[in-house]
Amino acid sequence: MGLASGGIFGLGLGNSKEKYGWLPHAENDYIFAIVGEELGLIGCLVVLALFTLYAVGAFHIIRKTRDPFIRVAAGGITVWIIGQALINIGVVLRLVPVLGIPLPFMSQGGTALLAVLMASGVLLAFARTLTAPEEPGKVAR
């Protein structure tokens, strides 16, 4: 109901009505429904686009590295975070039963956010190990 009542542009940030009584655990399990109500379809598409951009960046690290440890670790982190997001969005859309999994980077809860931020930091450290492609015609010293 909360996701559907947002329309295309939403009710406005902070103007959600469903989070004050009808929606259980609105701050963590159903945060995507609140995003849909307050920011509308546009806000939901932006959230999905940001998770897609995160996945593309992580897959770029996996594809460009030659170290098998970095591939496995980056792949595990990517599957964890993107899978967690897909499951949470599936719960909001009633495609998956309620599992109590928070939406990464958005749900209330310090430990879940801390774990996701540390995993993202590990991905950034892996990205620093990638070598830059050499420019044609440049002499190596």
Question: Token pair for residue 101?
Answer: 């999994």
What does the pLDDT read at residue 140? Answer: 56
* pLDDT exceeds cutoff 60 at 141: no
Domain ranges within the chain, ordered by starting residue: 4-128
d(CA 46, CA 49): 5
d(CA 134, CA 85): 36
What are 87-136's pLDDT values in tens digits? 999 998 889 998 888 999 988 878 989 999 999 999 999 999 987 776 77
| Cα-based distances in Å from 59 to 50, 81, 94 | 14, 13, 28
What does the pLDDT read at residue 131? Answer: 78
Contact 18, 94 (CB under 8 A): no
What are 20-58's pLDDT values in tens digits? 777 777 677 788 888 888 888 999 999 999 999 999 999
